[in-house]
Amino acid sequence: MLCLRESATATRLVTDLAVGTCELSHEALDARISHQRDLAVDYFRAVLVSAGILPVWDEYLARLERWIEQKTAAIKDLEDRRLITAFARWDRIARIRRRARGKPTS
């Protein structure tokens, strides 16, 4: 069983939420997670969604978007980065969203 106390990231996150230095949103949670997944933070997010505090979130699509951001950030040529990012967003992600038709992806 996951415990928030065992995750330094989750502990900092909960503290920051409590004192108001972190917005309660999916984007703010994502900003607090490094490139490495933190299962305690994922669990905390799932609890917030289940309780109706945060809206339903397509975690697989969000992970794909973060992965694209990380990979394209490593492209040194700015024009290449812009083109590949545009392709990923306007073609790949849009295609996945159309196929999902509002349902969670897998």
At 9-48, the pLDDT tens digits run: 778 888 888 898 888 998 888 777 655 566 777 788 888 8
H/E element, 66: helix 59-73
Residue 82 has a pLDDT of: 93
Amino acid at 76: K
pLDDT one-digit tens code per residue, 45-81: 888 889 999 988 777 888 788 888 889 999 999 999 9
Indicate if 67 and 91 belong to the same structural domain. Answer: yes
Residue 105 located in a structural domain: no
Residue 40 located in a structural domain: yes
Indicate if 74 and 46 belong to the same structural domain. Answer: no
24 close to 54: Cβ distance less than 8 angstroms: yes
Residue 106 located in a structural domain: no
Rounded to an integer, what distance in angstroms lies between the CA atom of residue 58 and that of residue 60?
Answer: 6
Question: What pTM does this model have?
Answer: 0.61
Residue 65 located in a structural domain: yes
Residue 29: count of CB within 10 angstroms of its CB: 22
Indicate if 17 and 37 belong to the same structural domain. Answer: yes
Indicate if 25 and 63 belong to the same structural domain. Answer: no
H/E element, 54: none
Count of structural domains within the chain: 2
pLDDT one-digit tens code per residue, 89-106: 888 888 888 887 767 676
Rg, C-alpha atoms of the chain: 16
Find the domain containing 29 and state its range. 4-50
Indicate if 8 and 45 belong to the same structural domain. Answer: yes
Indicate if 8 and 28 belong to the same structural domain. Answer: yes
Closest CA to 103 of 44, 61, 52: 61
Residue 101 has a pLDDT of: 77
Indicate if 63 and 44 belong to the same structural domain. Answer: no
H/E element, 9: helix 8-19
Residue 77 located in a structural domain: yes
